[in-house]
Structure 1
Amino acid sequence: MTKKILVVEDDENLGNLLQLYLIKDGYEVRIETSGKLGLDALVQYEPDAIILDWTLPDIEGIEICRQIRYQSDIPIIMISSRTDELDAVLALEMGATEYIRKPFGFRELLTRLRLHLKRYEKEQQQQVRVSELVIGPFKVDLVMFKVYKEEVEIPLTKREFKLLLHLLEQPGDIKSREDIIEMLDFTKGDKRTVDVHIRRLREKIEEQPSSPKWIKTKSGIGYYFNDKAQEVSYNS
């Protein structure tokens, strides 16, 4: 199946050149010239990878990268004329898969894109092999990213899903607020936001959120999933 590449680049000449080289290399391509249009295309076009410029007319590419990472794990190749090493570090910390400085060689970019697509496809295949996690009354569909309690689906946001899965995978293992902040890519020190997400998650999975049975608090340390009677099992 032909891979779809989304290019978010406001320089028309560079965008056209990227489109030309990508099509020649066998890809289907969509070009967008602003951050907002790029985010819209992420949902509508469902690309397999994104080539993202840092400097855009409405929203900086680094912010677009951060927002994409809340929705998808697809490869993001960020391109920029910025030469400071700290810019490259920031881009990678915000979720970019690769950082390439302008001007760049198109062959190099295509090679890096091809390698990241292969790596991502391999990771996806490995994830599909383990498609379901079951613990106590909870079942987590790791393919469709859905959670069920006693066969009834629990509507969760992406962050709530990620947080619950983080706790479910190692029941009894206390996760500090710092650990959860890092896992959810929150701003460092945003501990109160962690507490808010825990509270919202409890409201959705607990019968009595004020007296939780499943998500327990270890005072002064963090949170853990309490299930002494059941072990975690994975189904494929």
Structure 2
Amino acid sequence: MTKKILVVEDDENLVNLLRIYLVKDGYEVHCVKNGKNIMQVIKAFEPDAILLDWMLPDIEGIELCRQIRFEHDFPIIMISARTDELDIVLALEIGATEYIRKPFGFREMLTRLRIHLKRHEKEIRQQERISELLIGPFRVDLVTFKVFKDEVEIPLTKREFKLLLHLLEQPGNIKSREEIIDILDFTKGDRRTVDVHIRRLREKIEEQPSSPKWIKTKSGIGYYFNSPTKEVSYN
């Protein structure tokens, strides 16, 4: 089935080039020049991924990214001339899957897009085979991407969900910061962002975040999920 790519970019020359390269690579492409009614556009087009410019005439792409990520988990590739590290970190924390600086090579862009589409497709196939994970008081619905503790839903961002799931799947196994960076598609070497996500996750699942019961730290190495039982059940 042909993959659909939504391009949100106001530079007409770049839009035309993106359309040419994407169509040539076998994608169905729809382009818009602003963020107006973006959720309706997504509902109508049903894209498999989005190429999203940061600087748009009516709204910043970073805000669009936040809105889209709240409802959808497909790859969002931010493209921007902004090169400040804090901007890149912000985009990734908000929910961008990838950040590509302008000007960029189209072959590189296509390669990155293919990688993220394949990864997302693999995640979907895995979720279709297994619908639920159970360990201790935690229940993870792998279809709706929701986490429950004692049957009370815990509101998580996409990356918080992925991080908790990664820890839950192998209780007791220490996950290094480098491994978590790779799993969550953070910028390589961004250890600080890992610590921030762990802290936020603890604030949501722990009764006493400053003295965590579930997510433990192995000093100098990383983090692990602490459980009396190492048995994980799948339904």
Fold equivalence (TM over 0.5):
yes
Q: Which residue of 1 aligns with 2:169?
A: 169
Q: Which residue of 2 aligns with 1:94?
A: 98
Specify the SS of the correspondent of 2:127.
helix
Matched, 1:205 2:205: yes
TM-score, structure 1 as length reference? 0.62
Q: Deviations over 1:44-100 (max 9, x none)?
A: 5142334748898679x9x99x98889533597x9xxxxxxxxxxxxxx9379xx85
- 8 A contact 1:48–1:74 mirrored in 2: no
TM-score, structure 2 as length reference? 0.62
Structure 1 vs Structure 2 CA RMSD: 4.6
Amino acid paired to 1:132: E
Specify the SS of the correspondent of 2:147.
strand
Q: Deviations over 1:125-155 (max 9, x none)?
A: 4421211111111001111111000100011
Q: Deviations over 1:14-62 (max 9, x none)?
A: 968959x98xx9x6x642125xx29x73675142334748898679x9x
Amino acid paired to 2:98: M
Specify the SS of the correspondent of 1:198.
helix
Counterparts of 1:118 and 1:176 in 2: how far apart (Å)?
A: 25
Q: Could you tell me which of 34, 42, 45 is aligned with 1:45?
A: 42
Amino acid paired to 1:194: V
- 8 A contact 1:8–1:50 mirrored in 2: no
Q: Which residue of 2 aligns with 1:178?
A: 178
Unaligned runs of 5+ in 1: 79-92, 102-108
Amino acid paired to 1:159: R
- 8 A contact 1:69–1:95 mirrored in 2: no
- 8 A contact 2:50–2:75 mirrored in 1: no
Counterparts of 1:218 and 1:189 in 2: how far apart (Å)?
A: 18
Q: Which residue of 1 aligns with 2:74?
A: 73
Specify the SS of the correspondent of 1:223.
strand
Counterparts of 2:165 and 2:146 in 1: how far apart (Å)?
A: 10
| Structure of larger gyration radius | 1
Counterparts of 2:210 and 2:172 in 1: how far apart (Å)?
A: 20
- 8 A contact 1:48–1:117 mirrored in 2: no
Report the alpha carbon displacement of residue 227 of structure 1 after superposing the two structures with TM: 1.1
Amino acid paired to 1:73: F
Distance change >3 Å, CA 142–CA 94, structure 1 → 2:
same
Q: Which residue of 2 aligns with 1:226?
A: 226
Q: Which residue of 1 aligns with 2:190?
A: 190
Report the alpha carbon displacement of residue 200 of structure 1 after superposing the two structures with TM: 1.8
Counterparts of 2:183 and 2:192 in 1: how far apart (Å)?
A: 15
Unaligned runs of 5+ in 2: 80-96
Distance change >3 Å, CA 50–CA 201, structure 1 → 2:
closer
Distance change >3 Å, CA 3–CA 206, structure 1 → 2:
same
Counterparts of 1:148 and 1:4 in 2: how far apart (Å)?
A: 33
Number of aligned residue pairs? 201
Q: Which residue of 1 aligns with 2:88?
A: none
Specify the SS of the correspondent of 1:161.
helix
Counterparts of 2:228 and 2:145 in 1: how far apart (Å)?
A: 25
